[in-house]
Structure 1
Amino acid sequence: MEALDVSAIPNLPGFSVRTKKKNYGRCHTFQMVNGVRIEQSEGMTFDKPKFVKVPLSLDTKRVGSMGATTVQEDFKDHVKAEVTEAPAWDVLDRHVLRFYGQFQESVVETNLENFRIRHCVIMYYLEDDTCHITERKVENSGMPQGQLLRRHRCPGPNGYLNWEDLRVGGELHVYGRVIQILDCDEWTRNFFSQQGQEQEEALEPAMDSFAETQFEIGGGGRKKVHQPRSYETVYREQRMGGGHINANMQQFMEWDRKVCRFYAVFDDLSTPQFERRPFEILYFLADDTVEIKEKYPLNCGRDPFPIFFRRGKLAHGQAKVMGPLDRERKKDEMIGLQDFEIGGSPELLGQRFFIYDADAFTRQYYAQLGIALAEAVDVRLPERTVPRPKTPPYTGYGTWDDSMGSVHTLMPKPPKKDQVKLFEHEGKILRFTAQIYKAKPEDADRLFILNYHVFDDTLSIHEPPQRNMGIMTGKFLEKGIHLNQETGRLFQMEDFLPGKIIKVYNREFEILDMDEYTRKYLDGGVQRHFDLEAVLQKLREGMRQQYPLARDIFRKFDADHDGVLTKTEFKNALIKWGFQVTEEEALLIMKAFDSRKDGQISYNEFCDCLIDEDYTNAMMKVRPKLDQDVGNYPDLAQTKLEERDEREKIRSAVKAIGDVIYKHNTNFMRLLKEFAHLTHENTVGCEQITKALNTIGQSFSLEDVQRCVAYVLPDVDFEQVEYVAFLKAVVSSFHDLSASR
């Protein structure tokens, strides 16, 4: 049987013959070469990548511990190899040779020059042997510039352009253009040196007529374009009715960007409510024009259109609309600088503006003219006093706090108790003896005990029993907050002094005497005396039982997380364990913790006093007794406390102002504009910074602004702050302060 010729079967549906595959293996598209994945030659979608030789790393050589193996004997050449191949796109990535060249181009459209020298930069990329050429930009050259040749493989003398074809002093022929290579950068020279090919020295670029003209106009040449002007030339031109002297231009050149700023107000009587509106009057010395701006206060309710009169010539008197046939007003009818003075009231646009102040430049300019401006006038209106209604009398229903809650708010809330006062004065009761004032004969011998509870300002009255009295004694007034009808206020400690009269529920009592405890308390002599040594040991033991780690104990009482315990924080720690010690006693105990005696307790000092010593030869050493001499330690503690408070204020001020400037990009430019409106100089004062922040809707006190300025610009004068440097310093130092923990 003859073999079937497959090629003779027509390629039509139904006539195909199923062939059997000889190899069912899956092709490997990628392979690893020196740790880099590359595509194999079979089935590649592009040309084979370029490979370069690189030094072979010692880590890749495999040498057995028992000496040379049979494999190493068979492949001696491979074992002794010092270099290997790697893809160029991985080894030579971002390796670029840079050459500087020039080429000559003829100019046939003008008789001023015959040719033009054009300078270019040649960039050769080693990873794929591509090249692109760009031309340097020359101002007013009249020629299109930029990219001359896009990046691709260019034709060279031997096929494609190679890096060996680029030499300083040589020529590059690209698409009919001859480029002379003048120089290369330092990296390119080092590359050629490593390859054993040194580059020549740089060549001087050629000059054409256009470059020489630009050089002479720039002042670099000896030749002058124009003839020098003399006084005789100017005189002859003026006699002939010409000349180039322009008085207005002379004034503009001398006084450009010089502005006199006046601050003024005028009383607006056209509105139903009287209003004093602030303005800024700007007089431009360059062209004698005037601009009036209104300085809107915050939340004034007016539309944000600050320009009251746009910059231009301004005449005296009423505002008039000039038509095309109206004559121009004379210079004498226009507003001049002589019309402005502090305390004056010029009429502008039909309104009487009262000028009350001027900026520093204006005062300096007037001083140069021999005119001394008056001092600033205070035009601030007194704050409107809002009459406050009288507090209604206490009705007697409920407690006093409940009744006042319905007076202060429309939706009353439960009154809050003073927990600090309750904790400090718990259990303190002042007792006074009293009798009925102007009593009847049957009540003349009655005696009452008044109990005043200090911790909640409550009062209770009871009558002790007396033999053969004939009157039921006992509780006379229930404990509660009561009103003293003599003073119209709640009972206070001063109302119970002997000899005073109190009135409660229409009953008048005369205070006779007080007990010994009350007398000592009012004299300031009632204090709880503690054994400070026992308090110290009790405090140490309680702290150790609070948490297992000293770190957690320290963090518990370090309220502001600044790493030290101040006087206030240490006293709060004593109060937590119920020690109502005095200020001096608290400082004595704090001094025992503070080994350096600097007015504050650091973490190391806290651990040294809290934790017992480890087992050593000095384990049985007795701790020194508590020093009872406080010395000048209170001053040190108070100084450290004030320093910490000031440091926290500085931190808060810098963070707040930084949030305004750094987090809102528009505020940066708004502040620059506000500073430019406030002054024509590059420096401002802290008051002007505060005013600019208030203008953009951010209210800060002068002290906070000074703290921020002193932090970002140390040793700076608060009256001469460069506002551009200040804003940049605030932005750059925003992340210097860590976030609140």
Structure 2
Amino acid sequence: MQKMALPFLPGNTFTDPTKRKYHLSQSLGYKNGYALPARPTVGIGGEPLEVNQLSLAELDELNNKRPTLTYGQAKQPPPEDFIPAHVGFDKKVLKFDAFFQQTVHESQNEYYRVRPVSIFYYLEDDSISVIEPHIENSGMPQGKLIKRMRLPKNDQGDYWHWKDLNVDMNVDFYGKTFHITNCDKWTQEYMASEGIELNPPAPVPSDPYIESRKESAALRTYKTPSNFDKLRQFIELDGKVLRFYCVWDDRNRMFGEMRPYIIQYYLVDDTVEVREVHEANDGHDPFPLLLKRQKLPKNRDNVESSFPSVVMELSEHEIKDWYTPVDFSIGRTVYVYNRPFLIYDCDEFTKAYLYKKFNVKDFTPVEVKGRARNVPKMDLPPYNGFGSFEDSLQSCLSLVPQPPKKDFIKMLENDHKVLRFEAVMDSVKPEDKGRRFIISYRLADDMMTIFEPPVRNSGIISGKFLERTRVTKPGSLPNNAQFYGPQDLYIGATVVVFNHRFVITDADDYVLLYLEAHQQDFPGVQKTIESLRQRRDYKASTIQAPKSVKAAPMKIKRSPGDLQHLLGEVKSQLKKDNYTNFTSLTQAFLKYDKDRSGKIDVNEVKRVCHRQNLPIDDDLMNALVAELDVNKDGQIDHAEFMKFLTYY
């Protein structure tokens, strides 16, 4: 009691040596596992409390009591029990999902890492901890990055509070920036109850290295290869090409035009070729291809920006989207390296393939016509008469004349087939009267030759009158020439050959037989056939042929003096043969006297005549033997032989 009387000043205090306990009494009790507040019954060190043992509720009631004069103090509701923070917020934690990027140096496989973390905010004491979830085979330490503590917010001594946290924002913990992306449901409800509106969740970027690890660690799935492999594609589709007709309309540019092209798609290796279509005098160089055979990409510029296109060509690894047959159809515009090609038609094989493979049924061609061009008309000059008409025409059609094309099939079928006609010249000159000609018409090349047979003492040189050439009709134009044909060569027809007129008078029997068998090949030849038939009937009626007996001796009607003349010709031929081959007449006789009897049989003379190819008839042979065989014994002696060869 003495110590309580002393003032509490420095020097007046002292320690009680009997006091051994200095701990505070427990103010928190547990009942059935729940923490409940408990009022201490003793003071520090176990000393009894000398104050009134009133509860906090009673003390509050006494403090709030006000004196009234009428009906007394109204009873106030009991205040809520005081719950400390470590009791009210025990095990209540706010959880936020966040990530931070960590730069990776000296690695060619990765440049940075995206490391996800979980931020835990403990409401009990406003402490924060950052924990990174464990990732298998990550190669870096993971787990608790920042242990539980109050984290400073700035240099002024402020700490991070739950009111400073929100979704889709950055927070700095000890110089490392974390981006909050989301939170759990309890955190959303708590923040909403406190009047804080959270932002929408933000996406978490993927880690390239982790994704590559996942792909390598994922279970590999194997797909059974298709039966349609490259070998089968080559065997079944080799030589099968889809052909599309298209145009490139480039008229928007200066000097541009609409040009036709052909797109060919090779099914054997899925390659595309663009061929140019050239026309006569189109003004373009005769290059066959606009694009050589290759795989055609749909978009050549859709590649990675890091690809070194300056030094490397694009391959299938850079371009994944290529043109296939389904991308080609009538009416569609196909871009070939930024050039638009409008497909307006395709061939029959392409239509059948698209119908069978892709069930395409509409193959209506698209009408594509450019502006009509005024093509200058070429006027052919008149025929100058030099060479054939076809040769002169070739010099007008091209700068370097080409030989005219021939019908080889016609030449092979009609080789050595010639129609011969007899004609006379129709001229006002008296010396041309009675001149006979043979006109030969060659069926192989439709050319005519004219030959004049020799006539003794006529004063005119015979032989070829016209070389082999095609003869045009009078009045034929150079651009529409008309030539003589078998239908124009009838009996009585007049043929004008280079201003010389010939009248046909007769023809061979072969002409009539050939024209009757080939009437369909020569329109209008019926007139020629009728004239030839009438000529044949006329000759048959005027010439009465004697009745001939098979195997009978030939009988020729001779004029007076013919037999003596022919006999002199035979003697001259035999004499010429002997004088040419032998030196003396005796040697000639010994040649035919084989048995050296001094006589020659009459049959030897007949054999000599046959050996000399003398056309001796029976009456002529009898006259010859009668002149040699003077004795009429069938033998010719040496004297008779010498007389026969010496005198006529």
Shorter-normalised TM-score: what interval?
under 0.3
Q: Scaled by the length of structure 2, what TM-score is found?
A: 0.25
Q: Scaled by the length of structure 1, what TM-score is found?
A: 0.22
Which has the larger helix fraction?
A: 1
